[in-house]
Amino acid sequence: MAGSYESINYALRPAKAIERKMLCECFRRLTEFGALESFRYVGFGSTYFSDFALVHRALGIQQMVSIEKDIENRQRFQFNRPYRCIEMKYGHSNTVLSTLNWNIPTIGWFDYDDRLDAGILADVQYVTMSASPVSLFAFTVNAHPYDYSETNPRLPQLTELVGEGKVPNGTAEKDLSGWGTAAVSRRIMTNEIRETLNARNGALPTANQILYKQLFYFRYADGAKMLTVGGLLYERRQANLVAKCDFESLSFVQTNSRANCAPYSIEVPSLTYREIRHLDGQLPRIRRSRLRSPRVPRKDLQRYEALYRHFPHFGELVI
């Protein structure tokens, strides 16, 4: 089956590009635990390797593993690999993850094309059970509402994908419209992480028990609605170092892991290049001042101010 990379250029999706830069900025905070070069990065490079290129250039990480399930196109992936330090692993993530050495502190972004299902939950469980503290992970899934009809309601479709017993109690059909599918998917993934840690911590001394700190709860749409959930795994005795990372000072970090916590919505404003240059000259905004640009809606000004440091700039280059 053809991969989505054959129909979508992931390097040119604005919300995805913003998310990528935000994740990288958060990864940088891990310096409290040592040099970033000591971490490994694991992800799905596809043919574009956009996150790999950014992580290598911005953070200096050289231990990198790209998992590719489209084994029939090995030659194409190998050709597009931007750096020789990227180790290619071919096969489904359910199989490949178990072949990796998890004693290495790891940063991972598992950017799935698909809706949340039992296979993705198996990856969430395996990584949570196996990853060395300190490790930081993000899981992205398609959270677009399921097609609905009276004979094919959404709730049974979700249950069939994730498995019996995984859908939170009290979930109703009405909860799966709009962005509701994203909210329910996040609860399922968070529950999986917590249940796995309960099992992992059963025989560990209190100081060495593994804790989970949610950092990411993104939602955005470059087309389909997408959800990213993730955070930090660390030992209880490392809490002081986690505090020094000061993740909370990043405006896009969402540490509240309760079921009803609000997501960080990446909403990309539609602006011309001239409007962007005009607004950049007013940023960062001085207290009490207001951003101004002729006829640009106030909501777009607010959205740009929130995103401008991570805003992508696409253009045509003649080589």
pTM for the structure as a whole: 0.94
How many CB atoms sit inside 10 A of residue 216's CB? 27
Please answer whether residues 3 and 295 qualify as being in contact, where contact means their C-beta atoms are separated by less than 8 angstroms.
no
Structurally, at CATH architecture level, domain 4-266 sits in: 3-Layer(aba) Sandwich (3.40)
Q: Where exactly are the structural domains of the chain? A: 4-266, 273-310
User: Which of the four pLDDT bands, split at 50, 70 and 90, describes residue 114?
Assistant: very high
User: Which of the four pLDDT bands, split at 50, 70 and 90, describes residue 109?
Assistant: very high
Please answer whether residues 233 and 136 qualify as being in contact, where contact means their C-beta atoms are separated by less than 8 angstroms.
yes
Residue 5 has pLDDT above 50, yes or no: no
User: Which of the four pLDDT bands, split at 50, 70 and 90, describes residue 288?
Assistant: confident
d(CA 106, CA 135): 5
d(CA 155, CA 148): 10
Mean pLDDT of 70-83: 97
DSSP-based three-state secondary structure for 135? strand
pLDDT at res. 7:
42
pLDDT at res. 314:
83
pLDDT at res. 9:
45
Residue 10 has pLDDT above 50, yes or no: no
User: Which of the four pLDDT bands, split at 50, 70 and 90, describes residue 319?
Assistant: low
115-142, pLDDT tens digit by residue?
999 999 999 999 999 999 999 999 999 9
Residue 48 has pLDDT above 80, yes or no: yes
Query: How far out from the chain centre does Cα 145 lie?
Result: 19
Please answer whether residues 72 and 102 qualify as being in contact, where contact means their C-beta atoms are separated by less than 8 angstroms.
no
85 φ/ψ angles, rounded to the nearest 5 degrees: -75, -5
